Amino acid sequence: MSAIRPLRFLRAVPAPRRRPPDPPPPPARPPSPPPGRAAPVVAALRSRLEATRQAELVLVVGSPNSPNAARLVEGARRGGSRAELVEDESDLRLAWLDGTGSIGLTAGASAPELLVQRVLDALRPFGPVTVREHRTTEETVRFSLPQQVR
């Protein structure tokens, strides 16, 4: 005679839940500048804004997608000047110059000096141009190109 084995019912037990892995820590931030000193780009921006405060119209040479150039335009407007962003001399509008006694010309951080000079040269046919360079600080920081671009 064979033995009848009883049926065994197994209770399904859920597998222990695994906690998702912790996200990686945020990248390390560069050290803050010492008290009283601004980061180089911020210091340059402040310097350029300070120089534009005396102009009725401020022309900022830079790209429309440049945050630095956009901040210069905003800051000049906040300071009470009319301000326009120009990529090069072809963006100049005669209407901007009408009745304007003083023009401040500055540039975003990545705008080449050649573009600034071309805008200045384009202003000359509209009347006498006296250039007075206004420096509030000496900008000595140089940014090198990434290795992949060199």
Ranges of the chain whose pLDDT falls below 50: none
* pLDDT of res. 97: 86
* pLDDT of res. 14: 59
* pLDDT of res. 88: 93
User: Which amino acid would we find at residue 70?
Assistant: A
* pLDDT of res. 87: 94
Q: How many whole angstroms separate alpha carbon 62 and alpha carbon 74?
A: 13
* pLDDT of res. 41: 53
Phi-psi region at 109: left, alpha or beta (left = phi > 0; alpha = psi -120 to 50): alpha
Per the CB < 8 A criterion, the answer to whether 58 and 81 are in contact is yes
* pLDDT of res. 61: 92
